[in-house]
Each structure stands twice: as structure tokens, then as C-alpha cells.
Amino acid sequence: MATFNVNIPRFYCLLRKEFLYDGAAHLNEFVAVCAFGAASIQGRALGFHVLTENGAVIWRLPLHALCHKPEAPVMPLDWLQFWDCFSYEMEATTFDRLREARVRVQLRDRSWAGGQYMFTLDWRGNEDSEEAGDGGHKCAHVVALDNGNFAAQPNNRMQWFCPAFVTPFEEKPDYVTNTRVWKVERETETTQGYFYDSKENAGEASQVALYAKGLRTGG
């Protein structure tokens, strides 16, 4: 199934009106809209589809065109969305465990902005969207920021809050990006037997060889 365009959990917000006039007029004016879908063009920023209060559908708006407070500060797009789309194949998911969770996002100037989780966009179907390592896969959690803007940020630029479980870190942990890929299908006997046995290779690692931006090492 093609996933170039995806349904997203719809949300009501404001569209900065200058995006209806190619940025040439109506600055600091707003139109009430319902955002209902998103498009993923590889190598470009996310595009959001909206229905306006007067019945027009506007396609592929960048994230900084939308806000949920009229006093929201105008922020650069690359502060709100950190990575371009990794693939033409994208999916939208609202994770139950994260639903409406409080979160804070680290912006490009290393300041933190609080907000609330909405849903997650993730990519598949090519090397950029599926490989491990620093150059590999990243998702985009869409967040309604407290300052009135929306953000779409990867895991490593966010801190989540859950009073019943999470003790927030004061300094960022020194975690390292995973560079390995795991695979369980290696070798089984060739037989017509229904309950066949696997062949064990003593000492063989469970992860397969690494492929990351041309780097290949033994597993």
C-alpha cells in the first residue's frame, strides 16, 4: 500500500495566512484549519494537509505554517523539524504509552521547549530509513509546544515525563547510538518433518554484519 500520503490524528489549529499568499501578504493574520493528513517527499520537509474554515483544502504546508496560539513566536522551520523526510514511504502512529504525555524538546540553540505529544511519523522502504548507526533511521514525534508552535523531533532530542515511572535526568545521558542489526534466521535443517530442529553454530553472534553508510564490519 502506498504511504506517500497518510492520515494523521486530526487536530484543529491556526494557519499563518501568509502561506495562502506565497508569503507576500497577510502577515500576522490567521485562518482556522483542521489538519488531517501529511505527505512525505524524500529529502524535503514534511507537508501537512489542512481543511480551512471556509472549505478550502490546502496541500503540503510546512510545519512552521501552523500554530495553536495566535501569539506563537515565528520560528525557523529547521528548529521545529530537525530532519528532512527519509523516504516516500511514511506511516503515522499514536503510541498508547506516550498518548498526551508531557515532553520537552531540545531546539537547535540547545534551549529546551516544553510540549505535549500528539503522534509519531516514521519512515521505511530504503537504506536511509532502515539502516542502523548515526546516519540511519530516525522517527519524528509531533509535539504541540507550549509556546504555540508544533515540532517534529527525533528520540535523541526529547525528554519524556511520567510521574509514575520516570525520574527526569538533569544532564543528558551519555548513551551511544546503536550500530548493530539483529537477525534470527540463520540455518535450519532441510526436512519434511513438521517439528524440525535448528542447527546451532557455537559462538556465532546473533547480530548480522553492519551496513551503515558504506561501513561494513563483522557481526
pLDDT tens for 197-214 read 666 555 555 555 554 444
Higher pLDDT, 156 or 46: 46
Band (pLDDT 50/70/90 cuts) for residue 163 is confident
First to last CA, the chain: 33
pLDDT of residue 180: 75
Cell numbers at residue 150, please? 508544533
| Pair 217, 207: CB distance under 8 Å | no
Q: What would the mean pLDDT of 88-117 be, rounded to a whole number?
A: 95
Domain range list for the chain: 5-161, 179-219
| Pair 40, 129: CB distance under 8 Å | no
pLDDT of residue 174: 79
pLDDT tens per residue, range 46-61: 999 999 999 999 999 9
Q: What would the mean pLDDT of 169-192 be, rounded to a whole number?
A: 72
pLDDT of residue 67: 99
Identity of the amino acid at 217? T
Higher pLDDT, 179 or 45: 45
Cα 75 to chain center, whole Å? 19
Residues 6+ apart with CB under 8 A from 28: none
**3-state SS class at 78:** helix
pLDDT tens per residue, range 19-39: 999 999 999 999 999 999 999
